[in-house]
Chains A and B, each alone.
Chain A
Amino acid sequence: MAAILDWNYVYLKQNPFADTPPRRPEEAVWAGLPRLKKQFEDLFVQALATPATQVVLNWGAWGSGKTHAAMYFGLKERLWPLVQEPHVRDLCPIYVRTPKEPAQADQELYRNIIEALHFSNLRKLIRDLIAERGQKETLRLLQDSTSSEPLGKAIWLLGLEPKKRGGQLALFDDEPSEERNQLLESYFFSTCTKRDLKELGLSRGIDSAQDRFRVLGTLLQCIVGFAPTEQVHQHTRLVLWIDELEDLIYFQSRQYRPFTQGLRDLIDRLPNYLTLLMNFTLATSAFDDARVVLGEALTSRITHQIYFQPLTPEEAYDYILELMRCYRSEDPLSKGLPPTYPFTEDALRTLVETLPPLRRIPRDLNKRCSQVVSQALMEQVITAPGKGNITPEFVNKIVETQIDLDLGS
């Protein structure tokens, strides 16, 4: 079987028609969809060269490529070439999914973002801030930013080096650095005891959803930087993707309100250098419907919307062609075969048209291509590299078989 399903027979290194998005940004390729790609590129050009915070709603049908876009543009190296100087000093992409447990939604989002940031990075960031501004000034800055003395102090503690003898913080004297780090990490994950709080010299923990979003806002501000807004090159652009926001449908009102209001507060706390991209699967093609699920708190902050619309037959044809090109082991043209190989050009057009207009989206196109090519390999329509091809009749036969299977299930 392995020999039969050899994608090299059709001059492809592997099956390019994945039915799930890539797991790592490095694995993502962008095929076709030039209009959609340009919308993102324009967005990131603005993000890299200007301070304005962007709140973007990426919406479309299930399988239209939203998660794929998050993966593809989650790689810094793909964004830097889009702009010339002056631009931000760095980019910080973070990808998280909408919490699956509504009862602890704010905790889960908070924890996922903190974990994506890594404590070691956060410690270095605060250390650098202290080195630049001094301990007192940094403490004041963080307390102002969190609007809380204990919360600001906790963040400040992240940046203090433990002293073995007679240092700034007597409470950490003689303690191994790792132990102290763990104590602070427990604090940020709200798992520390009253004794731990006393040991840290903090009067209270991170108790509420509001606290969590305040801490998060300040930590993200530390990444962005505290330089004057107009000095673009002294800031980092934070690119936060929140995937699967349609899962807000699982939230009862009492869970949904603090979560969406917390997100709104986070946006308001970071009026510059934040790009928040929210992926949202919508059953219809009416943007207004998204308002109902997302609510006014979030939709009122949206600055851009990107619609992952179904592809025209021409776009779908180009998409498949380019996707195969990304995975070619050899160029079929060099073998005297059409660029659509293993499909004849007519077969590829037929395949595109077997899908109804609203289902002409990457996931369904991939699924259909994968079915047809796999079947062609299994049925030995293609017997050796470049020998045999997929005709419109074969495509129709496979599609009809699949319909029968769907109806039977």
Chain B
Amino acid sequence: MPYKPLCIVDTCSLIYMSEMELARRPLHRWLFDEFEVVYSQFVWETEVQPQLGKMGKVGQMLRRRNAGAQKVWRMMGSMQYEQALFNPFSRVEQVGRCSKCGQFILAERAVEINLESEEDRGERHNCGVALDAVRRGSHRQVVYLTDDHRAIRKYVQPIFETFPLGCIWSSYDLVLYLFVRYCDRMIVEDVEVVFRNLTAKAVNEERQRGISPETRQIWQQRLVTYTRKLERVAQVMKQLP
């Protein structure tokens, strides 16, 4: 069996891709076939397992024969990883605004993370999984799959900028990757449909919590950006022998 790259997945991505199909195949099927999908013990117990009902077919699959629990990355001392990675911790933040142009001024600064709090612990523990997988040599690089852009900015991006562990993907990246790999089995329009559906799912989830016009515009821009990337990929693929 060929080697599968490791994909550390976040709960929201599993929710977003539930009930979605690409080339008449559930999106999560593509994901599980292409990658060795894992998450931390904490993510499984506090996020994935309680929300299996919201995950449609993915949820059903993870329930079957304890499949969900088997995707937990087995590691020693996950709390020590969290402690070491996030204390001390620094990230790029808005520190001011230019009085001339009004643009935000960004700078890296130390941030104190409350490690006692369970809020965002899933993201922090998944970062620990990424480090553990590379450190132990079982995987050379990892893919960190998440559609939680707040978590990316707050935790995942700063860690991946310091530790070259692999790349951070959104579900759009996953779909684009699948198109690159299987473009003979997919048509551009099918991929566009998935991009649109992913966006609709995400903005509707956010709308329930009260979406701001700015956030809506960010999602609009994501849809536009990935549609443009898709056009470019399709253009290149057509020219290849």
Contact = CB atoms under 8 A, between A and B. Distances in A.
Contacts of B100: 353
A249 B221 contact: no
Interface in A216-272: 246, 249-253, 255-256
Contacts of B199: 249
A246 B197 contact: no
A256 B99 contact: no
Given A62-B213, A62-B217, A249 B224 contact: no
A249 B200 contact: yes
A282 B223 CA distance: 12
A250 B203 contact: yes
B216 A403 contact: no
Contact of A249 (B94, B95, B97, B220): B220
Contacts of A256: 196, 200
A396 B204 CA distance: 39
Interface string A331-353: 00000000000000000000001
Contact of B99 (A292, A354, A357): A354
A250 B224 contact: no
Contacts of B200: 102, 249-253, 255-256
Interface string B186-215: 000000010011011101100100000110
A46 to B, nearest CB: 31
Given A250-B203, A253-B193, A293 B99 contact: no
A407 interface: yes
B99 A283 contact: no
A284 B227 CA distance: 15
A123 interface: no
A246 B220 contact: yes
Task: Identify whether the interface residues of A are mostly helix, strand, loop, or mixed.
Answer: helix
Contacts of A407: 94-97
A92 interface: no
Interface string B77-117: 00000000000000000111101111100000000000000
B75 interface: no
A403 B223 contact: no
Contacts of B221: 283-284, 289
Task: Identify whether the interface residues of B are mostly helix, strand, loop, or mixed.
Answer: helix
A355 B102 contact: yes
Range of interface residues on A (Cβ < 8 Å): 20 to 34
Contact of A406 (B97, B220, B228): B97
A400 B214 CA distance: 22
B32 interface: no
Contacts of A355: 102
A353 B102 CA distance: 9
B213 A293 contact: no
B94 A403 contact: no
Contacts of B237: none
Interface of B: 94-97, 99-103, 193, 196-197, 199-201, 203-204, 207, 213-214, 216-221, 223-224, 227-228
Interface of A: 62, 102, 246, 249-253, 255-256, 281-284, 289, 292-293, 353-357, 359, 396, 399-400, 403, 406-407
Given A249-B199, A292-B223, 19 more contacts: A62-B217, A246-B216, A249-B216, A249-B220, A250-B203, A251-B200, A252-B196, A252-B197, A252-B200, A253-B197, A255-B200, A281-B213, A281-B217, A284-B224, A293-B220, A356-B101, A357-B101, A396-B99, A406-B97
- 5 A-B pairs with the lowest CB-CB distances in the bound complex, closest first: A283-B217, A356-B102, A403-B97, A253-B193, A289-B224
